[in-house]
Chain A
Amino acid sequence: MNIGINGDSAIALAWKQIDPDVCAAYPITPQTIIVERFSDFVADGEVDTEFVTTESEHSAMTVCIGSASAGARTVTATASAGMAYMWEMLGIASGMRVPITMAVANRTLSAPLNIHCDHSDVMSTRDTGWVLLFAENVQEAYDNTIMAMRIGEHKDVRLPVMHNLDGFILTHAIERMTTLDTHDVKDFVGKYTIDHSLLDIKNPITHGVMDLQDYFFEHKYQLVEAMENAKGVIEEVFEDFAALSGRKYEMLESYRCDDAEYVTVVIGSTAGTMKEAVDQLREEGHKVGCIKVRVFRPFPIEKFKELLTGRKMVAVMDRHISLGSTGPMFNEVCSSVIDVDDSPDVVNYVYGLGGRDVPVSDLKEVYMNMIEGKCKKVNFLGVRL
C-alpha cells in the first residue's frame, strides 16, 4: 500500500507490524514522533509490547540490555544528546551480544545547542560494536527497521543494530512510501529466540561477567568475527528483502558510476540531492557519479576498493568532523584504496553541520572543484569564513 508518512512515523509503523516484546525509550527531538506514535499503538491495544518509559537514555539502553538478555525482542530510539548519554551502555550492549535494534534520528551534539541534522551523534559511536545502517529517504528508514532485526539476531552476528535517519530532513518530512503487509513483516523477522536466556531458571547463566587480562582480548576478538560475519548476513538479508519487497539494497549503492571519473561518497539523505547533482552534471557532459553508503559498520572496505579503483578523484562527504583530524569516513575510505596500484586522489568535504542546508548547487560545486583541480585535502562546504 502507498501512503504519505514522515520518517519517524514510518519507524513506529514498522514497530507496530513487528510487535516487539519490549520497547524502552526516552523522548528527544527529533526522535519524539517515533515514541509518541508507538505510545498510541500501545494505548489503543494495537501492539502487545511492554512499553517502558524510562527516566533517561542511560536507563533506556540499560532496560533494553536487561530485556534482550532475558529473551525479549527489544527496540528503542534516540538522537544526539540521548545517544551521548547512553554511550556507556552501547559497548556493553555489543559486548553482551544482545541484538537490540535502535532507531537514531541523527542530530548534532552540543555545544552550541542545535536540534538539527548532522552525523556527530552516530559517528561518535562507530567504535562501540554496533552495526550501523543509514537511510536516504523515508522508505529506506522503514525498510531498514525491518531488516535490522534479521541482521542483528542472526546467530552468526548477535550484535545490536542502529538504523539511522537524518533528523528533521527525514524524521519530520512526509514522503510517499510503500508499506509491506503486516503478515509479511512478521514472517520476515521471524520468531526471536536466544540460547542463554536470563530467565531460564533451570540453567542459570552469569551474564555480564568480569574479564581480567587473561580473557578480555579473546572475548573482544569474538566481536571482530561477528562484525565480519555480519557482512555476509547483511547481503543475505538484502536478498531476502528484495524477494519480499522488490526493493534491492546494497551495502554501497553505486549511482551512474560505470564510466565516472569523479565520484563522491555520501551517507544519508544528502545522497538524494547528490543524485540530482550527478544528473545535472551528466546532462552537461561530465563523467560523474556517486556512491551511497548504506552500511558503515561493518565497513565495506572491499567494496570501496572495487568501486573506487581507477577513478580520477573521489570526494568523501562527511557530515561530521573529528576535531583535530578530518571527517571520519574520509580516513576509512582512504584506507580502502591505499594498497591499490591505480589509487585515486581522495579529498574530504565536511558539510551540513548543525542542519546547514545542502543545495544541489553546492554539491555540483564539489564535482566542479574536483574537475577543475581546486580541491584542498580537507574542504568545508558552505561555511562562511
Chain B
Amino acid sequence: MTLSLKELSKREMRLTPGHRLCAGCTEAIVARQVLMATEKPVVVANATGCFEVSTSIFPFTAWNVPWIHTAFGNAAATCAGAESAYRALRRRGKIKDDIRFLTFAGDGGTYDIGFQALSGAFERGHHMLYVCLNNEAYMNTGIQRSGATAHGAATTTCPAGSCIPGKQHHPKDMTMIIAAHDPPYAAQAAPHNWKDLITKASKGFECGGPAFLNVVTPCPRGWRHETDAAIDMSRLAVDTCVWPLYEYENGKFSLTSDSKRIAEGKKEKLPVMDWLKSQGRFKHLTKDKWMDTAEAIQEQVDHKWEHLQKLCKL
C-alpha cells in the first residue's frame, strides 16, 4: 500500500471530533491512524478506560462505525464474540459484508486485567487487530501503576518517595509475550511515525488471523509533560530505544523505520537520560541520589535492544 497524506485525508472519518479526551492526548491520534489503515468496514470493541469513557458518553457518541464496550478486563473476548457471530452469520448466508474487527484497550486492559482474555482470543485464532493504547499506567482512574509502567516512573500507587524512587519493577514485554503465541502478525509502533504505524495496522487487518499492535501513547497528564509535546515524546521513546519499532510477521522478527536505521548505524541512539529528563514522572531520577536507578534503566534498555537485534538477525 502506498500511503500519502493527501490520500489519507480523503478517508472516511471514523472517529469524529467532539470526543472528550484531554488536550495533547495521543489516543485519538493513534486510533485515527489505525482506522485509516483499512477501507473495509470495521467493527470496534473497546475496553473500559480513557478512550472508552471519552468517546461514548450518552446521548453522544464520537463513533461513526459500529462500536461495543462491555467491561474492562475482556476487550479481546468482546471482539471475539462479535467476530464469532460474524463467522456464524456469514456461514448461514445472513451477512454478506467483508468486515474487519478491531479492539482497543489500554495497557491496564492488556498487560494486566485483560491479559487472560487476550491470550485466550489469540490462542483461538479470532480474526481481529488488537491495538494496545499503551500510556504505561491506569490513567483513567488517576495514574496508578500497571504492568506496563516503566521502571523508576512515579505514579499515584508507586510515588517517588524519600525511600523508594517510583516503580521498582521493569514492565512486562507484552509484544514478545504475544509473539510467543505465534500469531500471524505482532508489532510495536509509535504515533509520530504515522507511515510505519498505518502500514503495520494495515498488515494486521489483512493477516487473516489475530494481530497485535502495541503503540506507545504519550499522556501529558500522566507523564507530566507539556500538552504540545506528546509527539516529541513518541519520537524520543523510539530514538532512545526505550520503545523500538519492530514487527513479528509469519515467524520472523524485523526492525522497522527509525529503529532499523539506529541498528544500521545510520541514526544516533540517544541516551535514556534524555528520555528521563523530558517527563515529570522521572524527574526524581535525575538527582544524584537515584542515579543507580537511572543507570539500571539504561542497562535494561541496552540489554533488551541487543536481544531484539539478535532476534531480527535470525
Contacts and interface: CB of A to CB of B under 8 A. Distances in A.
Interface stretch (B67-75, B244-252, B277-285): B67-75
Given A50-B84, A199-B43, A209-B56, A204 B78 contact: no
Contacts of A280: none
Q: What are the 8 A-B residue pairs with the smallest beta carbon separation, nearest first? A: A66-B81, A55-B120, A70-B85, A72-B85, A62-B77, A63-B81, A208-B69, A59-B77
Given A56-B117, A67-B81, A211-B58, 18 more contacts: A22-B88, A50-B91, A58-B73, A58-B116, A62-B78, A63-B80, A64-B81, A66-B77, A66-B78, A66-B79, A67-B84, A70-B86, A198-B66, A204-B67, A207-B66, A207-B67, A207-B69, A208-B56
Contacts of A199: 43, 66, 82, 85-86, 89, 95, 97, 99
B233 to A, nearest CB: 28
Contact of B82 (A53, A67, A209): A67
Contacts of B82: 66-67, 69-70, 198-199
A210 B84 contact: no
Interface in B93-144: 94-95, 97, 99, 116-117, 119-121, 123-124
From A49, A53, A208, name the one whose CB has the most chain B CB atoms within 10 angstroms: A208
A264 B94 CA distance: 50
Given A66-B79, A66-B81, A201 B70 contact: no
Contacts of A375: none
Interface residues of B, number: 47
10 contacts: A50-B85, A52-B81, A63-B81, A72-B88, A74-B81, A92-B71, A199-B43, A209-B69, A210-B52, A212-B58
Contacts of B80: 52, 59, 62-63, 66
Interface residues of A, number: 43
Contacts of A210: 52-53, 56-58, 69
B117 A71 contact: no
Contacts of B119: 55
Interface of B: 41, 43, 45, 52-53, 56-59, 61, 63-71, 73-74, 77-89, 91-92, 94-95, 97, 99, 116-117, 119-121, 123-124
Contact of A89 (B43, B65, B70, B99): B70
A64 B74 CA distance: 12
Contact of A208 (B64, B68, B85, B99): B68
B71 A88 contact: yes
Contacts of A209: 56-58, 61, 69
Interface in A287-309: none
A307 B59 CA distance: 45
Given A66-B79, A66-B85, A89 B74 contact: yes
B31 to A, nearest CB: 14
A58 B73 CA distance: 9
Contacts of B77: 54, 58-59, 62-63, 66
Contacts of A279: none
A24 interface: yes
A166 to B, nearest CB: 29
Given A198-B68, A206-B61, A59 B85 contact: no
A206 B46 CA distance: 11
Contacts of B66: 198-201, 204-205, 207
A283 to B, nearest CB: 54
Interface in A269-325: none
